[in-house]
A and B are shown apart, each in its own frame.
Chain A
Amino acid sequence: MYVAVKGGEKAIDNAHALMRTQRRGDSAIAELSVDQIRQQLPLAVDRVMNEGSVYDPELAALALKQASGDAVEAIFLLRAYRTTLPRFGYSEPLDTEQMQIERRISGTFKDMPGGQILGSTYDYTHRLLDFSLLAAGEAEVAPEEANALSEALAAGNSCPRVLELLNKEGLIEQSREAGTPDEVPRDLTREPVNYPAERAVRLQNLIRGDEGFLLSLSYASMRGYGDSHPFSGEMRTGRVSVELVPEELGFPIEVGEVLLTESEMVNQFHGSKELPPQFTRGYGIAFGRAERKAMSVALVERALRAEELGEEVLYPTQDQEFVLSHTDCVSANGFVSHLKLPHYVDFQSELEMIRRLRKEQVQRTESTTKEEADA
């Protein structure tokens, strides 16, 4: 009996209803609120904001809830929302030197103006499961002094960036040549990317790129597939104010602040005919507390500067088109998952082709055998 593949409409509705039930889980267990996700899964929220390209912890938390905790699905939800938002304008460049620092680590100097600030971190924790969390007990909280100190630090004065200290001595490249005018970077969500892409576009692409992909690429480049094994000059996390110049005012006003993690890498550079040996920079920045992301961006970013610095492009991590065309988790997931869509027609074409090729081969073999027998 022929079963027609009909009824797609009803099937889709039912599948979605089933998904909602599955997402809710056992209804005897209290439902998770968006506020709880935002407060208690902040690192997941930060990842969704970064790759979703929207700074909105509440919406990112909502997306995570709606996506049953699947980061890629949540990022997709936030992206699809972002694309419908009107643009009021572009902010002034952020001044991360003025950051209210909550954590700051340099791998290059033991101490420097502003000092090292450990802040809150998973680093140095022994990765032992904490069964007291399983027992639904309250986790141990920070002592009062630590909180007070951290608040005092954040409110304190800004401190210069570590790489600027090297810059004063001329040991590191200028982030741009003196006298270069300000350029408004192209917005890659509005314009298609043409290769080769300029540094601002590359950075935009990497910052919304998949964290896992970038992490692995930077790992590969550190292990020798890309010659990028730098020093972490500085990694800082804190709040930075965002300013906008409304057309009718003509001067910048503060519209809010964002929590950012910034990473600056110091790479070796052996010099070229034109340039004396000096350190080069790899730069990464991300929303929220996203050190792994910011560092991966900085590593890959530096590897992608190979061509501009006259280095030989030998590995995928140094290849713009390879890296930038494949960073986006929404695109990657869409294209891989589209294999679930019907391909009956193409497969039918291949079936017909392979049957024909096999038949022809059998015929050829038969006729050769016959000729041999005749001979």
Chain B
Amino acid sequence: MSTATGYNFAYLDEQSKRMIRRAILKGVAIPGYQVPFGGREMPLPHGWGTGGMQVTASVIGEADKLKVIDQGADDTTNAVSIRRFFAHTAGVETTEQTAEATLIQTRHRIPERPLQADQILIYQVPIPEPLRFIEPRESETRKMHALSEYGAMQVKLYEDVARFGHIATSYDYPVMVNNRYMMDPSPIPKFDNPKMSMMPALQLFGAGFEKRIYAVPPFTQVESLDFDDHPFEVQSWDEACAICGSDHSFLDEVITDDNGSKMFVCSDTDYCRERVEQGFVGTAADLPIAEVGTN
């Protein structure tokens, strides 16, 4: 495969990659701590995955197989755009299969299939600071982290309990990493939070325009915040995936007609495909599946 002429392997110059790798190493050494780094301008807009892309560009090698997902799917437009970017600038092999990917860059999901020790999961992070909406000032939140002063977040969650009867945060749900740092897991649904804990794969987080990198090393404890009498719980659906019949994966709701009829399908497209291959079927298996355009 050829790479883009005039640009270094994987776009960033080697000095920048080294700087980013140093930040990653520091992040791995201090799980959950936000490491400031000299975030570079990328040819994609901020908020569209530039942090994840800089991390990917810094750890990717010629032998890697890259998978990019957005909302769990490989074929959403931004995932396509980022996958193409690396196919073009690094000439690496890409895949849609979770099982065979060595690097997975993701936005808003963790794949349903458990990840392995030889894989790296790279999250795109819009706002790395879990305390940002409680205290907008960076100079303050850095102090709060340094002193492990996280009472304000517990109060916020308690206010939810007092008003609604339970914690009303459904995604971007704050976690404690290795019993030390409070961390923003990026806007994944809280459904995915438990997967982060003791995961054999390395988890890296990149926030491009906020210029922060953080990490969860393999087999690190990640706990979602909760209360003894209001334990953390994940979403569940009464429905099952209409395509593969899965009753245990995160489901997307799809509106199918003008009357608001709906069906539920797996958000993780590769997981759904794998299950269909294994012979699982859902209620919509006999319906014609139309595809807009072709791949």
* Chain A interfacial positions (CB closer than 8 Å to B): 1-12, 76, 79-80, 82-84, 86, 189-196, 321, 325, 328, 330-331, 333-338, 341-346, 348-353, 357, 360
Rounded to whole angstroms, the CA-CA distance of A343 and B73 in the bound complex is: 12
Q: Is the CB of B170 within 8 A of A8?
A: no
Q: Is the CB of A352 within 8 A of B235?
A: yes
Q: Is the CB of B71 within 8 A of A344?
A: yes
Rounded to whole angstroms, the CA-CA distance of A333 and B44 in the bound complex is: 11
Q: Is the CB of B251 within 8 A of A7?
A: no
Q: Which of B36, B45, B190, B252 contacts A192 (CB 8 A)?
A: B36
Given contacts A1-B290, A6-B295, A10-B294, contact A346 B187 (CB under 8 A): yes
- Could you mark each residue 217-256 of chain B with 1 if its beta carbon is under 8 Å from any beta carbon of chain A, else 0? 0000000000000000001010000110000001111101
A interface secondary structure, majority:
helix
Contact residues of B between 163 and 217, Cβ < 8 Å to A: 164-165, 168, 170-172, 187-191, 209, 211-212
Given contacts A2-B254, A334-B48, contact A79 B41 (CB under 8 A): yes
Rounded to whole angstroms, the CA-CA distance of A189 and B136 in the bound complex is: 23
Q: Is the CB of B211 within 8 A of A352?
A: no
Q: Is the CB of A331 within 8 A of B46?
A: yes
Interface size on B, residues (CB 8 A): 73
- Name the distance in Å between B44's Cβ and chain A's nearest Cβ: 8
Sample (27) of A-B pairs whose CB atoms are under 8 Å apart: A1-B289, A2-B242, A3-B292, A4-B290, A4-B291, A5-B292, A6-B291, A6-B294, A7-B292, A8-B80, A192-B36, A321-B136, A333-B45, A334-B45, A335-B209, A345-B187, A345-B250, A345-B252, A346-B171, A346-B187, A349-B170, A350-B171, A351-B253, A352-B170, A352-B235, A357-B164, A360-B164
- Name the distance in Å between B107's Cβ and chain A's nearest Cβ: 8
- Could you mark each residue 77-109 of chain B with 1 if its beta carbon is under 8 Å from any beta carbon of chain A, else 0? 111110010000000000000000000000111
Given contacts A342-B76, A346-B108, contact A4 B292 (CB under 8 A): yes
B interface secondary structure, majority:
loop
Given contacts A7-B295, A8-B75, contact A192 B284 (CB under 8 A): no
Contacts of B189 in A (CB 8 A): 345-346, 348-349
Rounded to whole angstroms, the CA-CA distance of A76 and B43 in the bound complex is: 8
Contacts of A349 in B (CB 8 A): 170-171, 189-191, 235
Contacts of B77 in A (CB 8 A): 8, 11-12, 341-342
Rounded to whole angstroms, the CA-CA distance of A165 and B77 in the bound complex is: 60
